[in-house]
Amino acid sequence: MSATVGVGIIGLSANGGWAANAHLPALRALGSRYEVRGLCGSSPEAARAAGEKHNVAFHTDDPHVLANRPDINLIVIAVKVPEHKSLTEAAISAGKAVYCEWPLGNGLDEAIYLERLAADRGVANFVGLQARSAPVLRQVRDLIASGYVGRVLSTTIVADGGRPWGGVTYPSGVYLNDVSTGATMLTIPFGHTVDLVQWALTPFQNVSATLAVRRPLVEVIPGGDRIKATAPDQVAVHGELQDGVVAAFHFRGGASRGPNFNWQILGDEGELWISGGNGHLQYGQVTLSGARGAAKGLAPMPEPDFMQDFDVPPSSHAFTVANAYAALHSQLTRHIGDVPTFADAVKTHQLIQAIQTSATEGRRMAVEDVRLNIP
């Protein structure tokens, strides 16, 4: 693949959204490494408006037309989860590299199907688990690997999912309260976080979970209409990682009056604390403190020395996405770098399925017992 990767985005809107607020500024911050050469909208009118708003010359409402353009090497899928399967199929059928936002599919079976389809066609595939690309979270992994805390004994996370699951939402967030969409607090903020924890430490070997809807009626503002929520606004999971580390997570809908993300990693020689203002670890907006040996209190850890060479402020939602695209470019053009793939997504979907089964059946669930085949 040439040094400049031609990109087609599915889901870039003139009215904002994740593609406009994160993907587009991230891609353009990387200069000549990427060029956005086309977009696909939900209708001809929506595609035309987005093309004009974002200065993208080619636009269409047909994902197959976009994917088959010879000047496009990478298809980016940044739409609602129920549409991921069909749009990813279109990119794969055209033989194009594909970057699909997380969750990869609406459930484990869809994720397995897409991973197998991409593998069978030999298509480069990547998933938007961008928390792994945040410099401060890469630093956490490196510190654990270097033995900063010694042997890890336990890890604990208490976090808040935010407004969509806090009893009040905007019209754009209504679908996040519907468990059938596959876009819930369990799959999105918890899913991003648990993927990062398994990547930084080790994978879960078993889980015991409670999922609850404690706010069954959600107010839609403005207007005050109420909808019935079926997606859990309380996610409590505990279990063991593969090397015996005891893990406990609690994600709550809404926001607390204090820090909204707290993660402790306790070892026999030290500890690390990761704190932030929201439970969406994929934004990378956290601070890192640590202590080891005889130290009595926590101290801020030095800034990581592998910051990227682009101008995106860490406070922007585009920051971790830009870091992910930098790594992806190295993978596409030089076959180096660590970028999450569809196979990584399947592993996280497998864990989420184990959590759902545990909560439904009221028992501890071995993650490896979750089936990894489809009819």
Are residues 68 and 60 in contact, defined by beta-carbon separation less than 8 angstroms?
Answer: no
Distance of CA 73 to the CA centre of its chain: 23
DSSP letter for 368, please.
G
Are residues 282 and 127 in contact, defined by beta-carbon separation less than 8 angstroms?
Answer: no
Helices (DSSP H) in 104-263: which residue ranges? 108-121, 135-145, 189-200
- Average pLDDT of span 85-91: 98
For residue 54, give both structure tokens.
């974002």
d(CA 78, CA 99): 9
Is 83 a residue whose pLDDT tops 70? Answer: yes
Is 375 a residue whose pLDDT tops 50? Answer: no
Q: What is the pTM of this model?
A: 0.96
The pLDDT value recorded for residue 35 is: 98
The pLDDT value recorded for residue 296 is: 86
Residue 86's Cβ-count burial label (10 Å; 0-12, 13-18, 19+) is exposed
pLDDT in tens, 120-162: 999 999 999 999 999 999 999 999 999 999 999 999 999 999 9
d(CA 86, CA 108): 15
d(CA 293, CA 107): 44
The pLDDT value recorded for residue 161 is: 95
Axis-axis angle for helices 108-121, 84-93 (nearest 10): 0
Distance of CA 375 to the CA centre of its chain: 27
What element of type H or E holds 292? strand 286-292
Three-state SS for 192? helix
User: Which has more pLDDT, 240 or 257?
Assistant: 240
Q: Tell me how long the chain is.
A: 375
